């Protein structure tokens, strides 16, 4: 049976033992409190820099101070509950076994220690035993805690100051003031020195986030436990106050720089340890500077400088008290408190709270508080952020990444000043948007692009890549058409002409615009077959006959352009285009063929404008560039634009010839009219249009000596537009009117003709008639003789039109060459003859029938006349065209030494002159400009006294 008296006595002893234990522990607590009150000063503690164990000891001691007596009460109740639990367990066991023996009691102290000198009360023994066990368990738990803390991967703070901080790269316009874009990987940040942050911004952050920042040593335990307790109540749904942090600014620096933002216990312990370490390593101002540069402000915006620029458009050094309060209010919940979100009223309330805290803790005076409350703070509109001229920005970004690497561009904090004129860029974007709104329905054109380049420097001053970068529904607005390969149509022609001019052709040279079969393997008369033959047409399906190079280019005739390309050399033209910056022509000449000059090779608008800027700059190439200056985070200049002499890629005279043609308003009037969009009054402006087959691309590129501007209109999907005359003309003209305000009026320099150009073959110097020039005596009306005075002579051309290949070798147009072995000769010659035969009355407006008798009024008789005779060639004998003939001239009345000069004429065309005897003329009939079956060879001898004598004969040829 149970001895109840015995049990009550043991409970009494246990109670007394518990009271003694409480008294002993209370004395220990008082000693610890006295120790705390006499601890070393903060400065001494900072100088001693406690190690990891010391930090943990301080943590544990501080923990004990805050728990106070509550901990001891808990331990006492644990002991009582344990004693009662022992009794219940034994009672249950006794009942189950059915034993009649009394319930055994816990072993006494005497039994454990086997002492017999003094018998301890049973209750006291149990409490001591329980306390000892709990102590052991506590030590084990504490040991496990130390081991666990030691195994945590705590970041090293030895190089904390030198850690890598991601900084976004800012791209500016050419003024260096307007931010076009902020390149970043995930963070937009601009690190700023502590001294370059307004004092009000520093005070505002301290006031709202950690008002005792300059007093604590990294962790405020009271706030920590208060926050933990509030969070616990919230998790248990016992409080609606929500979770609370309690972190100091130092702890937030740790979270922002060294740790993740998860809520694990391990992360919190790391935060405490690192906070103490950083406090021992850095000054308070250094910690605050880090916080201000790391604080989140919503989205990808980090750091107070970035936030200040983004929200207010000013640097952090210029923030007012009211603006500072707003920036201090946001980092706590940057998305919730976003000035562009639905909780702007909440942000205003928190800003007021920040101002209240600043006043409460003495950071501002009453007057400053009232001014800040009254200030009307305006945030920049969200759409006015760093998202300007994005097509150009992406072009520059690609260049930066190629030079410095992606990581440096996204995280290196580069400052990039570009060549873009933002004012002109804005105007260009408006012009293109208005242009598409006007032509989309009218011509089925949904997109356009514009590029402008300073010809003297190569600087890109405007780049519009589409009608709207942000228009993505059913339209790839972010696709940069200015960089996309498109067929340029006729806008490629000036490059072919420039190459031809370098070869020796002239703007005055003549070419036939006639229907021609350009495949030498096809029949010359077949201009309709499609089986590999090539017989293109002009845009108006008409042919103009003989045209000068000037008129052919100014009026954009296709047939002459193809001939010019062929004569200049397809390979040479491609090489010239590449030298002028058109690098997209990377295939073989055979790949492009003669259709290249009509737009058969794809090029970008930027490349074409760059090529035209070469012509504008008298043939000097300046590499198009979008960058003026790049500096790194420390202000070191990585690259900077410097004026360069450029590279001559087109001969100066050849470039000036093209400029003269493309700016000739008279020459282009038949195509555009005299008052077209290309006409600027007295100002020299050159221009060239280009339209591809089916009207898929419409180009206009024009320039002055200072600037080149190009506009493209079309559809991204390459679908055709409706035919329209110069669709791109209106936006091009509108932009030119704007950009020319920035340049003084200037004129293209004139080209020079070669000194000996009159000796060039007929069509090269501009005489398309061919044949010969016959002189008539205006008095007798008959053929002039050597005795006919110059004042009575008149020149009458005898047309014999041929293709230009009849007179020259295309590779050396300055010299007469009648070999006529060019592969294109037969087809070109057939086309010219067919056209001439059909258009005689149009081509020749004079009488081509000549008299056969010679001037009989001016005979020269009575002036010491003498005679001349021709030997070496026999009349009545038929000679072959390739046979070399020799004609010798002499006079029975004059010795050779008295003969001053002998001139030879074939069919009344001058052929040879000899000034010393023996007077001979060796020739092959096929080399003469004009021969037929029966030909007249005439000689005129002039003696030393100027007296002339003549003779003539007929020789025959097998033709």
| Residues 843 and 834 sit within 8 Å (Cβ to Cβ) | no
Secondary structure class of 344 (helix, strand, coil): helix
Least confident of 139-148, 738-747, 911-920: 139-148
pLDDT (0 to 100) of residue 66: 44
* Domain spanning 869-957, CATH architecture: Sandwich (2.60)
- The CA distance from 279 to 45, in Å, is 11
The DSSP call for residue 593 is G
Secondary structure class of 97 (helix, strand, coil): helix
| Residues 340 and 334 sit within 8 Å (Cβ to Cβ) | no
What is 848-892 written as a DSSP string? -----SBPSS---TTS-----EEES--TTPEEPTTS-EEEEEE-S
**Half-sphere exposure of residue 462, counting CA atoms within 13 Å on the CB side?**
27
Give the burial class of 622: count Cβ atoms within 10 A of its Cβ; 0-12 exposed, 13-18 middle, 19 or more buried: buried
Maximum distance among all Cα pairs of the chain, rounded to whole angstroms = 186
Least confident of 313-327, 372-386, 519-533, 599-613: 372-386
What is 516-535 written as a DSSP string? ----TTS-TT--S--SS---
pLDDT (0 to 100) of residue 261: 52
In this predicted model, which residue has the larger pLDDT, 757 or 182? 757
> Does residue 112 surpass a pLDDT of 60?
no
In this predicted model, which residue has the larger pLDDT, 11 or 238? 11
In this predicted model, which residue has the larger pLDDT, 424 or 113? 424
pLDDT (0 to 100) of residue 47: 39
Q: Which residues of 425-445 are buried (b: 16+ CB within 10 A; e: fewer)?
A: bebbbebbbebbeebbeebeb
CA-to-CA separations, 562 to 212, 516, 549, 600, 650, in angstroms, rounded: 84, 10, 12, 12, 20
Pairing mode of beta strands 188-189, 301-302: parallel
Question: Could you report the per-residue pLDDT of 677-686, keeping only the tens digit for each?
Answer: 999 998 999 9
- Confidence label for 502 from pLDDT (cuts 50, 70 and 90): very high
- The CA distance from 546 to 842, in Å, is 11
> Does residue 113 surpass a pLDDT of 50?
no
User: Which of these, 641, 170, 626, 628, lies nearest to 396 by C-alpha position?
Assistant: 626
> E-strand spans in 747-867?
772-777, 793-798, 808-809, 812-816
| Residues 604 and 370 sit within 8 Å (Cβ to Cβ) | no
* Domain spanning 187-384, CATH architecture: Orthogonal Bundle (1.10)
- Confidence label for 771 from pLDDT (cuts 50, 70 and 90): low
- The CA distance from 320 to 301, in Å, is 20
- The CA distance from 628 to 454, in Å, is 13
> Does residue 952 surpass a pLDDT of 70?
yes
> Does residue 915 surpass a pLDDT of 50?
yes
pLDDT (0 to 100) of residue 62: 47
> Does residue 890 surpass a pLDDT of 80?
yes
- The CA distance from 250 to 261, in Å, is 15
Least confident of 73-87, 396-410, 468-482: 73-87
> Does residue 946 surpass a pLDDT of 70?
no
- What lies within 8 Å, CB to CB, of 658 at 6+ separation is 494, 497, 498, 501, 553, 615, 686
Question: Could you report the per-residue pLDDT of 380-420, keeping only the tens digit for each?
Answer: 887 545 678 999 999 999 899 889 888 788 878 899 999 99
Give the burial class of 144: count Cβ atoms within 10 A of its Cβ; 0-12 exposed, 13-18 middle, 19 or more buried: exposed
| Residues making up the chain, counted from first to last | 959
Per-domain residue ranges for the chain?
Answer: 4-151, 187-384, 757-843, 869-957
pLDDT (0 to 100) of residue 784: 85
Give the burial class of 272: count Cβ atoms within 10 A of its Cβ; 0-12 exposed, 13-18 middle, 19 or more buried: buried
> Does residue 52 surpass a pLDDT of 50?
no
CA-to-CA separations, 878 to 490, 751, 875, 934, in angstroms, rounded: 51, 49, 8, 9
Secondary structure class of 688 (helix, strand, coil): strand
Find the mean pLDDT for residues 295-306: 86
Mean pLDDT, the chain, integer: 82
Find the mean pLDDT for residues 617-644: 94
Q: Which residues of 762-799 are buried (b: 16+ CB within 10 A; e: fewer)?
A: bbbbbbbbbbbebbbbeebebbbbbbbeeebeeeeebb
pLDDT (0 to 100) of residue 583: 95
- What lies within 8 Å, CB to CB, of 43 at 6+ separation is none
Q: Which residues of 859-891 are buried (b: 16+ CB within 10 A; e: fewer)?
A: eeeeeeeeebebeebeeeeebeeeeebebbbbb
> Does residue 117 surpass a pLDDT of 60?
no
Pairing mode of beta strands 169-172, 179-183: antiparallel
> Does residue 172 surpass a pLDDT of 60?
yes
> Does residue 124 surpass a pLDDT of 70?
no
- Could you report how far apart the first and last alpha carbons of the chain are, in Å? 157
- Confidence label for 123 from pLDDT (cuts 50, 70 and 90): low
pLDDT (0 to 100) of residue 290: 84
- What lies within 8 Å, CB to CB, of 561 at 6+ separation is 490, 493, 496, 497, 552, 553, 597, 598
The DSSP call for residue 398 is H
Sign of the torsion angle spanned by Cα atoms 894, 899, 904, 909: negative
Find the mean pLDDT for residues 587-598: 95
Q: How would you classify residue 243: left for phi > 0, otherwise alpha for psi between -120 and 50, otherwise beta?
A: beta
> E-strand spans in 435-520?
447-454, 460-464, 510-513
| Residues 741 and 715 sit within 8 Å (Cβ to Cβ) | no
> Does residue 929 surpass a pLDDT of 90?
no
| Residues 784 and 775 sit within 8 Å (Cβ to Cβ) | yes
| Residues 335 and 326 sit within 8 Å (Cβ to Cβ) | no
Please state, for a pLDDT cut of 90, what percent of the chain lies above it.
45
- What lies within 8 Å, CB to CB, of 857 at 6+ separation is 777, 779, 780
- The CA distance from 724 to 721, in Å, is 8
> Does residue 562 surpass a pLDDT of 70?
yes
Least confident of 60-64, 78-82, 904-908: 60-64
How large is the angle between the packed helices 52-67 and 265-281, nearest 10 degrees? 120
> Does residue 36 surpass a pLDDT of 50?
no
Least confident of 345-359, 533-547, 732-746, 779-793: 779-793
Give the burial class of 118: count Cβ atoms within 10 A of its Cβ; 0-12 exposed, 13-18 middle, 19 or more buried: exposed
- Confidence label for 3 from pLDDT (cuts 50, 70 and 90): low
**Half-sphere exposure of residue 853, counting CA atoms within 13 Å on the CB side?**
8
- What lies within 8 Å, CB to CB, of 551 at 6+ separation is 544, 557, 667, 670
- Confidence label for 181 from pLDDT (cuts 50, 70 and 90): confident
In this predicted model, which residue has the larger pLDDT, 513 or 118? 513
- Confidence label for 853 from pLDDT (cuts 50, 70 and 90): confident
- What lies within 8 Å, CB to CB, of 296 at 6+ separation is 256, 302, 331, 334
pLDDT (0 to 100) of residue 593: 95
CA angle 113, 115, 121 (to 5 degrees): 85
> Does residue 77 surpass a pLDDT of 90?
no
pLDDT (0 to 100) of residue 45: 37
In this predicted model, which residue has the larger pLDDT, 209 or 273? 209
- Confidence label for 183 from pLDDT (cuts 50, 70 and 90): confident
Rounded to 5 degrees, φ, ψ at 648 are -75, 120
Peptide bond into 577 cis (omega under 30): no
- Confidence label for 336 from pLDDT (cuts 50, 70 and 90): confident
């Amino acid at each position: 049976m149970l001895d109840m008296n015995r049990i009550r006595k043991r409970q009494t002893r246990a109670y007394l033992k518990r009271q003694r234990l409480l008294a002993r522990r209370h004395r220990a607590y008082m000693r610890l409190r006295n120790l705390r009150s006499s601890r070393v000063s903060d400065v001494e503690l900072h100088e001693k820099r406690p190690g990891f164990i010391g930090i943990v000891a301080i943590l544990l001691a501080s923990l004990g101070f805050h728990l106070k007596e509550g901990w001891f009460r808990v331990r006492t109740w644990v002991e009582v509950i344990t004693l009662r639990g022992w009794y219940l367990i034994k009672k249950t066991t006794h009942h189950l076994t059915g034993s009649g023996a009394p319930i055994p009691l816990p072993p006494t102290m005497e039994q454990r220690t086997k002492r017999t000198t003094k018998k301890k009360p049973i209750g006291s023994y149990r409490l001591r035993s329980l306390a000892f066990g709990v102590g052991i368990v506590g030590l084990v738990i504490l040991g496990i805690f130390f081991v666990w803390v030691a195994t945590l991967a705590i970041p090293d703070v030895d190089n904390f100051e030198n850690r890598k901080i991601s900084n976004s790269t800012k791209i500016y316009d050419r003024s260096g003031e307007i931010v076009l874009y902020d390149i970043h990987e995930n963070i937009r940040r601009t690190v700023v020195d502590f001294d370059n942050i307004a004092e009000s911004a520093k005070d505002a952050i301290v006031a709202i986030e950690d008002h005792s920042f300059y007093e604590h040593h990294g962790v405020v335990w009271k706030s920590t436990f208060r926050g933990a307790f509030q969070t616990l109540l919230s998790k248990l749904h016992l409080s609606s106050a929500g979770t609370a942090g309690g972190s100091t600014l130092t702890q937030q620096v740790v979270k922002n720089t060294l740790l993740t933002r998860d809520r694990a216990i391990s992360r919190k312990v790391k935060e405490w340890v690192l906070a103490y370490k950083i406090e021992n390593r850095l000054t308070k101002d250094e910690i605050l500077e880090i916080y201000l540069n790391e604080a989140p402000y919503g989205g990808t915006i980090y750091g107070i400088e970035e936030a200040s620029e983004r929200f207010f458009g000013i640097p952090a050094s210029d923030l007012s008290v009211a603006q500072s309060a707003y920036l201090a209010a946001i980092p706590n919940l940057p998305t919730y408190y976003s000035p562009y979100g639905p909780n702007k009223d909440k942000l205003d309330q928190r800003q007021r709270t920040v101002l209240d805290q600043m006043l409460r803790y003495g950071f501002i005076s009453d007057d400053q508080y009232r001014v800040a409350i009254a200030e009307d703070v305006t945030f920049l509109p969200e759409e006015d952020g760093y998202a300007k001229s994005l097509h150009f920005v992406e072009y520059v970004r690609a260049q930066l990444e190629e030079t410095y690497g992606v990581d440096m561009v996204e995280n290196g904090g580069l400052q990039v000043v570009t060549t873009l004129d933002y004012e002109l860029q804005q105007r260009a974007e408006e012009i293109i948007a208005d242009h598409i709104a006007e032509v989309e329905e009218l011509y089925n054109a949904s997109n356009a692009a514009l590029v402008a380049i300073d010809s003297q420097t190569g600087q890109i001053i405007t780049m519009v890549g589409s009608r709207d970068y942000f228009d993505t529904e059913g339209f790839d607005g972010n696709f940069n058409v200015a960089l996309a390969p498109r067929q340029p149509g006729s806008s490629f022609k000036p490059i072919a002409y420039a190459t031809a001019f370098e070869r020796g052709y002239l703007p005055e040279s003549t070419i036939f615009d006639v229907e021609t079969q350009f495949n030498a393997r096809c029949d010359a008369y077949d201009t309709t077959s499609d089986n590999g033959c090539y017989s293109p047409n002009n845009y108006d399906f008409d042919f103009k006959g003989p045209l000068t190079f000037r008129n052919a280019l100014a009026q954009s005739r296709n047939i002459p352009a193809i001939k010019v390309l062929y004569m200049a050399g397809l390979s040479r033209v491609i090489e010239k285009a590449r030298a002028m910056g058109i690098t997209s022509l990377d295939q073989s000449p055979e790949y492009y063929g003669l259709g290249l000059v009509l737009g058969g090779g794809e090029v970008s608008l930027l490349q074409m404008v760059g090529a035209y800027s070469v012509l504008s700059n008298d043939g000097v190439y300046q590499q198009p560039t979008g960058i003026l200056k790049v500096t790194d985070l420390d202000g070191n200049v990585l690259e900077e634009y410097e004026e360069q002499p450029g590279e001559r890629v087109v001969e100066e005279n050849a470039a000036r010839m093209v400029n003269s043609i493309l700016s000739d308003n008279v020459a282009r009037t038949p195509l555009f009219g005299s008052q077209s969009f290309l006409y600027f009054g007295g100002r020299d402006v050159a221009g060239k249009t280009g339209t591809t087959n089916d009207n898929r691309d419409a180009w206009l590129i024009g320039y002055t000596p200072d600037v080149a501007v190009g506009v493209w209109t079309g559809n991204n999907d390459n679908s055709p537009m409706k035919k329209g005359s110069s669709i791109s003309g209106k936006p091009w003209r509108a932009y030119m009117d704007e950009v020319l305000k920035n340049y003084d009026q200037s004129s293209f320099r004139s080209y020079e003709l070669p000194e000996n150009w009159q000796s060039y073959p007929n069509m090269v110097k501009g005489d398309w008639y061919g044949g010969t020039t016959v002189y008539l005596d205006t008095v007798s009306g008959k053929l002039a003789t050597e005795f006919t005075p110059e004042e009575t002579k008149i020149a009458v051309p005898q047309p014999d039109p041929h293709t230009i290949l009849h007179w020259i070798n295309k590779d050396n147009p300055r010299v007469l060459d009648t070999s006529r072995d060019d592969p294109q000769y037969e087809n070109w010659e057939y086309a010219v003859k067919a056209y001439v035969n059909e258009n005689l009355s149009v081509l020749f407006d004079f009488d081509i029938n000549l008299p056969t008798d010679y001037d009989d009024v001016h005979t020269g008789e009575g002036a010491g006349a003498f005679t001349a005779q021709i030997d070496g060639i026999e009349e009545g004998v038929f000679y072959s065209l390739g046979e070399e003939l020799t004609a010798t001239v002499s006079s029975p009345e004059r010795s050779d030494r008295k003969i001053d000069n002998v001139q030879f004429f074939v069919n009344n065309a001058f052929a040879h002159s000899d000034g010393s005897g023996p007077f001979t003329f060796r020739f092959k009939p096929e080399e003469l400009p004009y021969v037929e079956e029966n030909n007249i060879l005439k000689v005129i001898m002039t003696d030393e006294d100027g007296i002339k004598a003549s003779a003539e004969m007929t020789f025959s040829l097998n033709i």
